[in-house]
Amino acid sequence: MASLSTKVQAYVEAAGKTVDFTKDVILQDDSQGAGPYIKEWNIAGLAQPSDADLDAHDAAGDITETNNGVRSTRKVAYGNYGDQLDEIFKDIDAWRARIQGIKDANPKS
């Protein structure tokens, strides 16, 4: 199951809007076992989603989170920017091949 923030983001983007989770929508978890919930909803022109609305975006949210995980894995494998620039300077084709290998080994959904 996708996290609440991912489902909210999918719901908002499906309506053609964007969300900033530091001001547009405030999610909160009181750490009492109930998990995250919507504390504030401040997006004008878009109603706060019901549980059914969010569940409708669960599958899309799962794909988003899977792909986010792939991006994170790829990013770590790419290495830091300075090393990559040095790699490109020395042999850009070898760098390109290495990056492609990482992408192939970690495909997105």
Residues that bind another protein (CB under 8 A): 3-6, 21-22, 26-32, 35-36, 39, 65, 68-69, 72, 75-76, 79-80
Shortest reach from residue 75's CB to another protein, in Å? 5
* Structure-token match 């970690």, residue found: 106
Residue 3 or 106 having the CB closest to another protein: 3
Q: With contact defined as beta carbons under 8 Å apart, do 27 and 21 qualify?
A: yes
Shortest distance in whole angstroms from residue 89 CB to another protein: 20
> Residue 1: which of 75, 51, 70, 40 has the closest Cα?
51
Shortest Cβ distance from residue 91 to another protein (Å)?
22
Closest CA to 3 of 61, 49, 60, 47: 61
Of 50 and 67, the one with the shorter C-beta distance to another protein is 67
- Rounded Cα gap, residues 104 and 74, in angstroms: 10
